[in-house]
Amino acid sequence: MAATLDPSAPLPDAFEAWLLWLATQRRASPLTLIAYRAGLHALLRLAEGRAVETLEPQDIRRFVARLHGEGLQGRSIARHLSSWRGLYRWLIRQHGLRANPALGVRPPKSPATLPRVLSPEQANALLDPEAQDLLEVRDIAIFELFYSSGLRASEVASLDVEGGLDLDEGMVTVAGKRNRTRSVPVGSRAIAALRQWLAARARIARAGEPALFVTRTGGRLTAAGIASRLGHRARLLGLGVHVHPHMLRHSFASHLLQSSGDLRAVQELLGHASIRSTQVYTHLDFQHLAKVYDVAHPRARKR
């Protein structure tokens, strides 16, 4: 197995400069920076003291094979390779390095995994029960917004009372990955839940707090806090499945595609830069159709 490394351990100055540039100029997300930092630590470990400027493509291919042999999955190796390619591009621009040895090196293929989604019945079971207290009023507004508009947890957590949410127009505008802004519709159920929350929000929000969703102490509710509350509600209602914010986003996309068949529209609503990211939901839709076939077709039913 690979040796564990302290993800907060300092890196060489050039590495830290590149990560700082990503954070400030490219507005990379905290999770991306954490993943890239781990990739750079892995590169240093595999180089075993050699200067990264002296590495050749065959070295990078050998590192990939070693990571795979250590049990790292293809997706994780791909993230490491992405961080290495980015670092070398930076070194070429800023330090005159001649070539990028990670360019063209491919990770091993990972078995395809489909996102888990709730059935429409499970989604209704999660959202339909009425709130029992003020925090549940807030939570239902959040979860209705997830399922209505396909937002990410970070996008919901960053929403403010002023700006972003227009209930009269039934639209919400958010800044997604790489600070790309998109506007998506908000459904009637979500609008009703959000109006109920806004009417009660002042009872716990701190004076001057801009966040739309706040904690019991009045500060901004974080993405981690949202995930914790969603998991708690799913357990409380006995859904029998671990529910997280991205599952509601997946469910939104899958159910919308099943109803509309419009892949491009789903891509726009999710804020995917590439249609390839959205195409995974076509596989989910095919699974749904296959189940319908197995149940309904007279030649598919078991005698």
Catalytic residues: 152, 177, 246, 249, 272, 281
How big is the CA angle at 233 (ends 195 and 256), to the nearest 5 degrees?
A: 65
Cα–chain-centroid distance for residue 175? 13
To which H or E segment does residue 166 belong? strand 165-166
Q: Which amino acid is at 101?
A: P
Q: Please answer whether residues 19 and 33 qualify as being in contact, where contact means their C-beta atoms are separated by less than 8 angstroms.
A: yes
129 half-sphere exposure, CB direction, 13 A CA radius? 14
Cα–Cα nearest to 154, from 8, 271, 263: 271
Q: Please answer whether residues 26 and 82 qualify as being in contact, where contact means their C-beta atoms are separated by less than 8 angstroms.
A: no
From residue 282, how far is each of 109, 111, 193 by CA, in Å? 20, 17, 30
Cα–Cα nearest to 62, from 2, 102, 89: 102
Contacts of 265 (CB under 8 A, 6+ apart): 256
